[in-house]
Amino acid sequence: MDFSRKVVFVTGGSRGIGRACAAAFAERGAQVAIGYAANEAEANRTLSMLRQSGKAIRFDAADPAACASAVESVVADFGRLDVLVNNAGVAVDGLVVRVKDEDWDKQLDTNLKGAFALIRAAARPMMKQRGGAIVNVTSVVGETGNTGQAAYSASKAGLIGLTKSVARELASRNIRVNAVSPGLIDTEMTARISAEARARMLEQIPLARLGDPSEIANAVLFLASDEASYITGEVLRVNGGMYM
């Protein structure tokens, strides 16, 4: 999986899965830009891991105008955009009868509307290039649902539908669109889960362990690479058998 002379934009790239993806792309020769929401120190830490020239862009993924501006900034600095990884996401857990409108909107706007805005912006330079790859990071709960995560699950399920629709639209321009569906991955987000809840989840995983961010990054790189040149509209589950 060689990404020499390729430009990659990874959102949510300051930590966890996004950081693992950015570092893996850079290790294989890509020029990598990362998007982040607020934590400049962590974004700079990711940049220090990139072997090639990198760029960090602070923007709100829930703001369509900011999404368009971020993509334009990548193209302006690097001259092209070959791969977009939509990884930015937020989760605000709560039982459905207690979910506030603003918490629902925050998750749908960031996880789904933001991904749509970034795809819309990235499609333009990719169409001019007559090629590109987009990988959306969804979640196992977008396929199974989960108690206390109605909004998060809905946003990730919507991302799967978005992936398949855009894959059909952009295929004629040689732009492939796929998704990776992680299970329980060892990140800061899952670290907030109680020990009791984690134990219950582990009982549902045949491989009996959490996944590592690098294992998601490997799947993202494959789908973005030329080795996956005949794959589009696919949802690749990386969940240890949690959902088959």
Q: 201 falls in which pLDDT band (50, 70, 90)?
A: confident
Predicted confidence at residue 194, as pLDDT, reads 79
Predicted confidence at residue 188, as pLDDT, reads 79
- Nearest 5°: the CA angle 23, 28, 31 is 70
Mean of per-residue pLDDT scores for the chain: 96
Instruction: Tell me what the mean pLDDT of segment 34-49 comes to.
Output: 95
Q: 79 falls in which pLDDT band (50, 70, 90)?
A: very high
The CA-atom distances, in angstroms, between 27 and each of 32, 41, 223 are 10, 21, 16
Query: What would the two tokens of residue 173 be?
Result: 């321009």
pLDDT reading at 51 higher than 80: no
Instruction: Tell me what the mean pLDDT of segment 194-200 comes to.
Output: 83
- Give the chain's domains with CATH numbers: 7-184+213-238 (3.40.50.720)
Predicted confidence at residue 52, as pLDDT, reads 64
Of 36, 152, 230, 243, catalytic: 152
Q: Which of 26-35, 47-56, 226-235 has the lowest mean pLDDT?
A: 47-56
In this structure, the number of other CB atoms found within 10 A of the CB of residue 170 comes to: 20
pLDDT reading at 3 higher than 70: yes
User: In 74-191, which ranges are E strands?
Assistant: 83-86, 132-137, 175-182
Instruction: Tell me what the mean pLDDT of segment 7-13 comes to.
Output: 98
For residue 240, is it left (φ>0), alpha (ψ between -120 and 50) or beta? left
Q: What is the pLDDT of residues 120-167, one digit of tens each?
A: 999 999 999 999 999 999 999 999 999 999 999 999 999 999 999 999
CA distance 118 to 61: 8
Burial of 175 (0-12, 13-18, 19+ CB in 10 A): buried
Please say if 152 is a catalytic residue.
yes
CA distance 117 to 212: 28
Q: What is the pLDDT of residues 168-181, one digit of tens each?
A: 999 999 999 999 99
User: In the chain, which ranges are E strands?
Assistant: 7-10, 31-36, 54-58, 83-86, 132-137, 175-182, 235-238
Share of the chain above pLDDT 70, in %: 100
